[in-house]
Amino acid sequence: MVNSARILAAAVVLIGASPASAAVLTGVWGGDQAILTVGEDGASLKTGCAEGHIPGPVRIDRRGRIAARGTFQSFTPGPQRADEEPGALAAAFTGRLRGQTLSLTVRAAAERTAHSFTLRRDAHPKLIRCL
């Protein structure tokens, strides 16, 4: 009887800590040259010279952290060369939510630097496209 009580308690802890129980980030988050639009089915990040996509919900853990996988593509100013291969790179999106502020970092595969953004809920900045 004691073992079954321990197993039940462990199952409750595991279910409570599962990703399915985490809150889902939603809404429009904007900052300096970046806007993140998040729904229950995924997210889209647009910046002056890049864009990113996260398929599926963006979950927030109990500490306000997010971690998601998606794609990210940087652009250069001017026309694209005919022999240039466009394409999004696999990317890791990590961040922390504190009140109405989301600190977001994007690390795209094969890029040397990470892209960091400070975003506020319901902010709608004007983006100036890559000049």
Residue given tokens 């806007």 in the structure block: 35
The contacts of residue 48 (CB under 8 Å, 6+ apart) are: 33, 34, 127, 128, 129, 130
Q: Are 28 and 122 in contact (CB under 8 A)?
A: yes
Q: Are 123 and 31 in contact (CB under 8 A)?
A: yes
Question: Would you call 82 exposed, middle or buried from its count of C-beta atoms within 10 A (0-12, 13-18, 19+)?
Answer: exposed
- Given this model, what pLDDT does residue 88 score? 84
Rounded Cα gap, residues 40 and 46, in angstroms: 18
pLDDT in tens for each of the 131 residues of the chain? Answer: 444 444 333 333 333 344 455 799 999 999 999 999 999 999 999 998 899 999 999 999 999 999 999 999 988 777 766 666 667 899 999 999 999 999 999 999 888 889 999 999 999 998 888 86
